[in-house]
Chains A and B, each alone.
Chain A
Amino acid sequence: MSIVETHNLSFDYIRRDEEGNVSSINRALNDVELAVEKGEFIAILGGNGSGKSTLAKHINAILYPTEGYVMVDGKKTSEEENILSIRQKAGMVFQNPDNQIIGSIVEEDVGFGPENMGVETKGIWERVEESLKTLGMWEYRKHSPMRLSGGQKQRVAIAGVVAMHPECIIMDEPTAMLDPAGRKDVIRAARALNDVEHITIILITHYMEEVIYANRVFVMEKGEIRMTGTPREIFSRLEELEELRLTVPQTTKLAAELKKRGLKEIPDGILTDEELIQSLCRSYLTM
């Protein structure tokens, strides 16, 4: 059974004037069909205003669909009594690390979710220890979040979600405000959670190089899903991506250009440097 499933999902941002009359309707999502299986690593790509964040907020029951529905673990998000269990099952990590850390000490912040769920004190401490150790932040448990780097803060935020024992974590551009080192940290943490803990990850990003580890990639534009496939399939459709103003990783681009200039042995959708080097060696040997 799918952990997250949307059907015919549409959402309108309605702007009202002072009298409460509708002054404009902005369709942020249009007829989105999505099914995510348990244990998958999904990436959702899209430029600014493509509706990817709106989609993320629907999965966590922060926004409710105008049309269609969202199901998380077989429960509809639009039904009031499901909200808490949906938010526990599908945790969410936001973009700005400063604005999502509630506690003034790392361990208190991680304990915030379990406290809200009504876990008893001993259980909270076990969960905090376990999730901080998973994210490699255990030695910082007594620190103030103010003193941490961006990547560390974001790992604390992820630990806070992990402590709620979710089955799925939605990461809404978790790396957008980080430096390259912090970005790597967070992506590594996301992959580890997927590999080791088998938590379903839905990573929302506009950095192409972050999606190469995903099982499936969805590309969104203007509130619709335009492309679906494995990273390799997506990256081999270079022209379409560029039409959507998404820049592919340099390696992929280089490989495609080399192929265009006559190196026919290079396969489509090269993802990493190593792959490119190997295929170049192979084509050199056969020449």
Chain B
Amino acid sequence: MLREITLGQYYQAESRLHRLDPRVKLAGTLIFIISLFISQKVACYAVATVFLICMIRLSKVPFGYMIKGMKAIAFIMLLTVAFNLFLTSGEKLVSFWVFTITKEGLKLAIFTAVRLAYLILGSTLMTLTTTPNDLTDGMEKGLGFLRLFRLPVHEIAMMMSIALRFIPILMEETDKIIKAQQARGADFESGGIIKRSKALVPILVPLFVSAFRRANDLAMAMEARCYHGGEGRTKMKPLIYKAWDIRAYIILACYLSLVILTAVISPI
């Protein structure tokens, strides 16, 4: 079940996008998201579509693989579309039973759907082309300025990378606990939603206990290896901008100005 979500997973491939500095990719995703909210004109979406398709082609990640990740959030998308479709007032288009679809509602629903889909595709593209470690490194360095506001950037990045490392271990552990409880006669498959969620308690309690124990062990192991926070720490793989990263920034700037320009000039 949990294995099918591609959101936040890495797809191994050799592409220009994979080799980019994670900071560029983070900034790129942010710029792409901003560009989606600049205007509601069709032309702007056309520019964004072309840009997104180019990036997906460049990343060498199969499109079908990306779509698979969307399934998990299909329900949320459907819900927002439905809300926009039925609850916007304006010029009446169709009407049946208690529902009325208005022209404005239809337009809004389509835009929201496209916007959501692009938002998710854009951020999935980033996580698919960036290893979790690169991502946290990029965040630590790219958001380093937040330290001025007393935000513990290094600590948050370290927590994220440890969490990512322990996901597979805890999954394995969950599997073991489920099997152990099943061997003792626990039933996870039958009954209504309340009975089933009650059945989760004997899984979650041992899982939490073991997670805390692991956390304690890990903290000790980190201390034993001289870990003392971000101060005075050097990097094994420091992030250094290369020529292509600069070019990528220029491309991003061009893209953003193009979107703004279209928003101002285009009539629709």
> A residues near B, CB below 8 A?
60, 62, 84, 87-88, 91-92, 94, 96, 98-105, 107-108, 111-121, 124-125, 128, 146, 160-161, 164
From A98, A116, A119, give the contact of B225 (CB < 8 A). Answer: A116
From B162, B169, B217, give the contact of A100 (CB < 8 A). Answer: B217
Q: Give the residues in chain A near B165, CB-CB below 8 Å.
A: 101-104
Interface hit among B69-77, B228-236, B259-267: B228-236
With A98-B214, A103-B165: A124-B221 Cβ-Cβ less than 8 Å: no
Q: Give the residues in chain B near A105, CB-CB below 8 Å.
A: 133
CA distance A60 to B224 in the complex (A): 7
Q: Any chain A CB within 8 A of the CB of B223?
A: yes
The answer to whether A100 touches B226 (Cβ under 8 A) is no
Which positions 173-199 of chain B face chain A at CB distance < 8 Å?
A: none
The answer to whether B217 touches A114 (Cβ under 8 A) is no
The answer to whether B233 touches A118 (Cβ under 8 A) is yes
The answer to whether A111 touches B236 (Cβ under 8 A) is yes
The answer to whether A115 touches B233 (Cβ under 8 A) is yes
CA distance A84 to B226 in the complex (A): 6
Shortest Cβ distance from B56 into chain A, in angstroms? Answer: 26
The answer to whether A164 touches B217 (Cβ under 8 A) is no
Cross-chain pairs A/B with CB under 8 angstroms, 5 sampled: A91-B224, A94-B224, A98-B169, A108-B237, A125-B236
Q: Give the residues in chain A near B238, CB-CB below 8 Å.
A: 121
> B residues near A, CB below 8 A?
132-133, 161-162, 164-165, 168-169, 214, 217-218, 220-228, 232-238
The secondary structure that dominates the A interface is: helix
CA distance A112 to B162 in the complex (A): 12
Q: Give the residues in chain A near B228, CB-CB below 8 Å.
A: 84, 116
Shortest Cβ distance from A179 into chain B, in angstroms? Answer: 17
With A96-B217, A99-B214: A87-B236 Cβ-Cβ less than 8 Å: no
CA distance A120 to B224 in the complex (A): 20
Q: Give the residues in chain A near B221, CB-CB below 8 Å.
A: 92, 94, 99-100, 102
Shortest Cβ distance from A265 into chain B, in angstroms? Answer: 48
From B168, B218, B237, give the contact of A102 (CB < 8 A). Answer: B218
Q: Give the residues in chain A near B214, CB-CB below 8 Å.
A: 98-99
Q: A102-B218, A108-B236, A116-B233 are in contact. List 4 more A-B contacts (CB 8 A).
A: A84-B226, A114-B234, A116-B226, A119-B234
CA distance A119 to B235 in the complex (A): 8
Q: Give the residues in chain A near B168, CB-CB below 8 Å.
A: 146
The answer to whether A113 touches B225 (Cβ under 8 A) is yes
Q: Give the residues in chain A near B225, CB-CB below 8 Å.
A: 87, 91, 102, 112-113, 116, 160-161, 164
In the complex, the chain A residue whose C-beta lies closest to that of B221 is A100
Q: Give the residues in chain A near B233, CB-CB below 8 Å.
A: 115-116, 118
Shortest Cβ distance from B188 into chain A, in angstroms? Answer: 25
With A100-B218, A104-B133, A104-B165: A121-B234 Cβ-Cβ less than 8 Å: yes
The answer to whether A114 touches B218 (Cβ under 8 A) is no
The answer to whether A120 touches B236 (Cβ under 8 A) is no
Q: Give the residues in chain A near B226, CB-CB below 8 Å.
A: 84, 87-88, 113, 116-117, 164
In the complex, the chain A residue whose C-beta lies closest to that of B217 is A99
The answer to whether A104 touches B217 (Cβ under 8 A) is no
With A104-B133, A105-B133: A116-B217 Cβ-Cβ less than 8 Å: no
CA distance A92 to B235 in the complex (A): 22
Closest 7 CB pairs of A and B: A100-B221, A99-B217, A111-B236, A116-B226, A113-B225, A92-B224, A104-B165
CA distance A72 to B236 in the complex (A): 28
Q: Give the residues in chain A near B162, CB-CB below 8 Å.
A: 102
CA distance A98 to B214 in the complex (A): 9
Shortest Cβ distance from A96 into chain B, in angstroms? Answer: 6
In the complex, the chain A residue whose C-beta lies closest to that of B213 is A99
Shortest Cβ distance from A157 into chain B, in angstroms? Answer: 8
Most chain A beta-carbon neighbours within 10 Å: one of B133, B214, B218, B224? B224
Shortest Cβ distance from A47 into chain B, in angstroms? Answer: 21
In the complex, the chain A residue whose C-beta lies closest to that of B226 is A116
CA distance A161 to B225 in the complex (A): 7
Shortest Cβ distance from B52 into chain A, in angstroms? Answer: 29
From B133, B169, B227, give the contact of A116 (CB < 8 A). Answer: B227
Shortest Cβ distance from A104 into chain B, in angstroms? Answer: 5
